[in-house]
Amino acid sequence: MNLVGVTTKNRVISELLMDSLVPLPYLPETGRLLDLGSGGGFPAIPLKICLPAVHFQLLEPVNRKSVFLRHIIRLLELDRIGVLSERIEESGDRLTLCGYDTITARAVSSLHQTLEWCLPYLALGGELVTFQGCSWKKVLEESSGIMKKKGLVVSRTLPYRLPGKNAKRTILFFSKKAS
């Protein structure tokens, strides 16, 4: 069952697990977190293990991945975590409007589209955490219109490199302010 694009144990550890944990020091230790497009569980499952008091909601539209996520949650005996097997634009009232303190999105869609999807669910003062590659400045510039329109500001940029990789990556933290 191919749940993630990488296939070796070392690559899973360096490219998925370690990447998932980069924003950890900047995330709240309580509250509610929505992970958009959870896939094989990255970044949600590693973050949940490190943040046991946070209530997690994983959103994954591919059924076999949702089944896998539920299985992993049972095996690890994680609590305060649920999985919805649907797309965000089809979730209706199953997600809490303005109710998530943190939303994570890794490899989901364009930044502009991710912002459109996530903003209705982000609490005032909450943070949207997006994982970006080396062209983050261009992507951010392309999304400036929706940011201004929706009262979103970049609260933190976190540049980093994964061990053994030359490619620069950046995590963008967006804060929702009163509009």
- Enumerate domains of the chain plus CATH numbers: 9-176 (3.40.50.150)
Contacts of residue 141, Cβ cutoff 8 Å, sequence gap at least 6: none
H/E element, 46 = helix 44-50
Decide if 44 contacts 100 (C-beta within 8 A): no
Q: Three-state secondary structure along 107-168?
A: CCCCHHHHHHHHHHHEEEEEEEEEEECCCHHHHHHHCHHHHHHHCEEEEEEEEEECCCCCCE
CA distance 114 to 130: 9
167 phi, psi to nearest 5 deg: -65, 135
One digit per residue, pLDDT tens: the chain, 179 residues?
444 455 566 666 666 678 899 999 999 999 999 999 998 899 999 999 999 999 999 999 999 999 999 999 999 999 999 999 998 888 877 888 889 999 999 877 889 999 999 999 999 999 999 999 888 999 999 999 999 998 899 999 999 988 777 789 999 999 987 65
Q: In what order do the strands lie in the sheet with 152-161?
A: 81-84, 55-59, 32-36, 100-106, 122-132, 168-176, 152-161
